[in-house]
Structure 1
Amino acid sequence: MITIERVQTVEPQLIKRLVQLETEAFGIGGLNEWHLVPLIRHGRVYIARKNFEVIGLVQYMLDWQIPRRAYMFGVSVAKEVRGQGVGTKLIDKSLRELAGENIEEVELTVDPDNVVAVRVYEGKFGFVATDFRVDEYGAGEKRMAMTLSLTKFIGKDNVCE
């Protein structure tokens, strides 16, 4: 059984595991302790567990220009459970919790060549492409910005059922 929970305390072993998942997913672009601790303390970090082992995480921060908007910083899922719905369940539960905190919209960026991720964001959650950013993280690092109205999303049935 997979459980989803918000991380609210900084525990060294947990941080080590989260860094490991981030490195597996994003290499040098993954979050490290210096990023994760402030996100836990001042943003929102949710984790997925299976049999007590952490197998995924998603992080959010507030958008200072639009205070009712959160920015989904990243999603990482352990290699051995990718394609089994862990990321979908993690995102679904976290979006519903954010809506309960009066967040109205979520934005993310994704590599437009990551067809699987784009399909999940659009098809399962209802994210809409809103911008294309060239050189977002350096030369040649293109990203597609996508947004989701949580009001519309909350009206949908639970994505994971």
Structure 2
Amino acid sequence: MRIELVEEFDLDFLQSLVQLEAEAFGIGGLNEWHLVPFIRHGQVYIAKEQEKVVGLIQYMRDWKNPNKAYLMGVSIAKKLRGQGLGTILMRTSLRALKEENIEAVELTVDPKNFSAIKIYQEKLGFVGKDRRVDEYGAGENRLVMLLSLCDLSQD
């Protein structure tokens, strides 16, 4: 498994990212119109297995607090879910963000997504910070979680 920052892309590669997003999030997944700006102006990391993209994570910098990043989403190929790949992708990308002088990372998650919340808290150290009601429309509530990168271990 190899994890790398995406800096260049072609249309076929972009389509593979869109397919991974659709598999993970359905209509809520990022498409070409979203991923290109993330690649060019944010940070997009991928996990590759034998040159095939099997994991994807995107971050954007917080304009109100430039030392903080927002984790937009994590997508893992369906056949590899539950094997720790998402955790490895997150840990690797979080260490890279720390090297870029990012001090904290924020994310939002469906408060009913107990398995994701457990991973964010227990494996990665995120802490629940706030709740946002109707964040993405009626009934689409989100739990806001925050991680300080200052104490992030280099394991």
Q: Which amino acid aligns with 2:121?
A: E
Q: C-alpha displacement at 1:91, in angstroms?
A: 0.4
- Cα RMSD (Å): 0.8
Residue identity matched to 2:5: R
State the 1:157 CA deviation: 5.2
Moved more, 94-103 or 6-15: 6-15
Unpaired runs of 5+ residues, structure 2, are: none
Aligned residue number for residue 142 of structure 1: 141
Deviation at 1:10, TM superposition (A): 2.5
What's 1:116 paired with? Answer: 115
Query: Percent identity, aligned pairs only?
Result: 59
For residues 8-157 of structure 1, the aligned pairs below 5 Å read 8-153=7-152, 156=153
Partners of 2:43 and 2:135 lie apart in 1 by 23
Structure 2 counterpart of 1:131, one-letter code: D
- CA displacement at 1:54 relative to structure 2: 0.5
Q: Give the partner amino acid of 1:83.
A: G
Give the secondary-structure state (helix, strand or coil) at the position aligned to 2:151: helix
Contact 2:127/2:147 (8 A) holds in 1: yes
Question: Are 2:95 and 2:154, in contact at CA under 8 Å, matched by a contact in 1?
Answer: no
Contact 2:20/2:75 (8 A) holds in 1: yes
Structure-2-length-normalised TM-score: 0.98
Q: How far is 1:55 from its partner?
A: 0.2
Q: How many residues align?
A: 155
Contact residue 133 and residue 142 of structure 2 kept, 8 A: yes
Deviation >6 Å, runs of 4+: none
Give the residue type in structure 1 aligned to 2:7: Q
> 1:14 deviation in Å?
1.2
Amino acid in structure 2 at the alignment position of 1:17: S
* TM-score for the superposition, normalised by structure 1: 0.94
> How much does 1:13 deviate?
1.2
